[in-house]
Structure 1
Amino acid sequence: MENILIEKQDNLAIVTINRPTKLNALNKATIEELHNAFNDLNNDSSTKVIILTGSGEKAFVAGADISEFAHFSVSEGEQLAAKGQELLFDFVQNLPTPVIAAVNGFALGGGLELAMSCHFRIASTNAKMGLPEVTLGVIPGYGGTQRLAQLIGKGRAMELIMTANMIDAETAKSYGLVNHVVPQEELLDLAKSIATRISNNSSVAIAKAIESINANYEDGVNGFQTEIKNFGASFGTEDFKEGTTAFLEKRKAIFTGK
């Protein structure tokens, strides 16, 4: 891994995009490394939660690496978006392991799209977010037009994308784009605290919850039916037996994720 760092702490994993001289901009190699890292961590049963952040104090991810696609043709541009969405952005959104974005500075273009792919976001007070693609004569291609509208509503998404404006962390919080805003020095501590609370719960139930919530945003999928199916499936897990038994015995449940 040349562009990312991975640190394991108990049941948590911290993935740091490490291209500080490029403000952690996403290029093809970084996207592939992130895919491999998320895939490996998801397959590691000891990893209950993943925290994603950027190196340094300036940027989470300041955008995509424009030099890689400045001379692309129509078909190459379409392939770039399709492959990127499949390899990373859709992949993260549908990952059974929870992913928290700790936005520690600029999250622009592909950076905001990556943060929005995570299951939820927290931000430092110096964070700035936006989708400035129209200033380059292109539109967001890694799911930005879809996820931004889902998260903050159609009207606000239209304005942000068409004006290419950046918003600060407090505005992002008021829009529902991020859940919490804290000083940068407290950002990872908060992420770890939330991640620890998540890791104490049933990972198999959390995976089913992620699938059920995401189903509401899939065309042709009835989210209520997905919830019913996953609710029923929960009854066949060891974690359900342990959770209900522990409740009745008035003790803390010890989940195995099975």
Structure 2
Amino acid sequence: MIEATTTSVGVHARTDEGVLVLELAHPGKRNALTWTMYEQLARHLSEAAARTDLVAVVLTGAGEDGFAAGTDIGSLTDLRSGQDGLDYERRVGAVLDAIRALPVPTIAAVRGPAVGAGLAIAATCDVVVAERGAVFGAPIARTVGNCLPAAVVARVASRMGVARATGMLLTAALIPAEELVASGFVFRLAEEGELDATLAHLLTGLRRSAPLTLRALTATTRRVESALPVPDNDDLLLLAYGSADFQEGVRAFLRKERPEWKGR
């Protein structure tokens, strides 16, 4: 169902019995997203929103490279100011909003790491199905020194619990899928090598369900979640992305060095 169909960099789409599969592919980079991949994903989502034949949309990573290891750090060298960083987060935020705007259930099928933007995409989906050994996190405090939008933090915290999400972010930890089942963040845990079968079983149930009921329930649960207020943290995004530490973090990451934080 979700086996890789190509090794080329990009977001590849295919439809299988009413299910649109969007596959994130960046071989050798753990499917980290480039600017082009974000644009392709936005286009696929826009087209999917207008379709009436879909039962569900699945987002997954290609091959064994994982779900998505965030944004390709090489792309972040383009960010030279706090405003650049804020514009980048709004750009990614528009893609997340497009996932939430789809009228059908969205499913993240995760094997390997779902990190940074990968975590945000998975948390934005209605349901997460993960293979044993998958990990989730946003270790930005240890890597590039940026910040997450409040909307992403709120979404992750509501799904896995505030205390767990806070600890994960502050300690730059990666949390195994096995530890996220009890909170419901991971809805179904597949044994190693069984992600396709677990996903297929879930999709069979969706295909047998009343389409209008699925769409109504999807919209209702999203409205319930959206009713919770989310604070603005643009000032903090501007501070982090406009800092010398962020530039140092990107430089050190690309050179595979440990960053020397200065707190400014």
TM-score w.r.t. the length of structure 2 is 0.77
SS at 2:181 equivalent: helix
Residue matched to 2:213: 205
Give runs of aligned pairs for residues 33-112 of structure 1, distance below 5 A: 33-70=40-77, 71-86=79-94, 88-112=95-119
What is the SS of the residue equivalent to 1:52? strand
Q: Is 2:130 the partner of 1:139?
A: no
Which residue does 2:158 correspond to in 1?
Answer: 150
Contact 1:24 1:60 in 2 (8 A): yes
Distance 1:124 1:131 in 2: 19
Q: Which residue is 2:130 aligned to?
A: 123
The 8 Å contact of residues 31 and 65 in structure 2, kept in 1 or not, is answered as: no
Tell me how far 1:26 sits from its aligned partner. Answer: 1.4
1:43/1:161 Cα in 2 relative to 1: closer, same or farther (>3 Å)?
Answer: same
Task: Percent identity, please.
Answer: 25
Per the TM alignment, residue 142 of structure 1 is displaced from its structure 2 partner at its CA by 8.2
The range that moved more, 38-47 or 97-106, is 38-47
Q: Which runs of 4+ in 1 moved over 4 A?
A: none
Q: Distance in 2 between matches of 1:184 and 1:15?
A: 21
Secondary structure of 2:87's match?
Answer: helix
1:219 to partner: Cα distance: 4.7
Decide whether aligned partners of structure 1 residues 220 and 25 sit closer, same or farther in structure 2, where only a CA change above 3 A counts: closer
Contact kept? 1:110, 1:140, Cα under 8 Å? no
Structure-2 separation of matches of 1:182 and 1:220? 31
Counterpart amino acid of residue 25 in structure 1: A
Verify the 8 A CA contact 2:48 2:102 in the aligned structure 1. Answer: no
Q: Greater helix percent: which structure?
A: 1
Cα distance in 2, alignment partners of residues 43 and 186 from structure 1: 32
The match for 2:120 among 109, 113, 138 is: 113
Bigger radius of gyration, 1 or 2?
1
Decide whether the 8 Å contact of 1:121 with 1:179 is kept in 2.
yes
Q: CA RMSD in A?
A: 2.0
Moved more, 203-212 or 23-32: 203-212
Greater relative contact order: 1 or 2 (C-alpha under 8 angstroms, separation 6 or more)? 2
Q: Read off the aligned partner of 1:54 and give its amino acid letter.
A: G
Which moves more between the two structures, 58-67 or 140-149?
Answer: 140-149
Q: Does the CA-based 8 Å contact 1:116-1:148 persist in structure 2?
A: yes
**2:178 is aligned with 1:170:** yes
Aligned residue pairs total: 220
Range that drifts further, 192-201 or 38-47: 38-47
Evaluate the alpha carbon distance shift between residue 30 and residue 201 of structure 1 in structure 2; reply closer, same or farther with a 3 A threshold.
Answer: same
In structure 2, stretches of 5+ residues that fail to align are 1-7, 230-264
Cα distance 1:41–1:142, how it changes in 2: closer, same or farther (>3 A)?
Answer: farther
1:51 touches 1:191 (CA, 8 Å); kept in 2? no
CA distance change for structure 1 residues 159 and 40 in 2, over 3 Å: closer, same or farther? same
What secondary structure sits across from 2:67 in the alignment?
strand
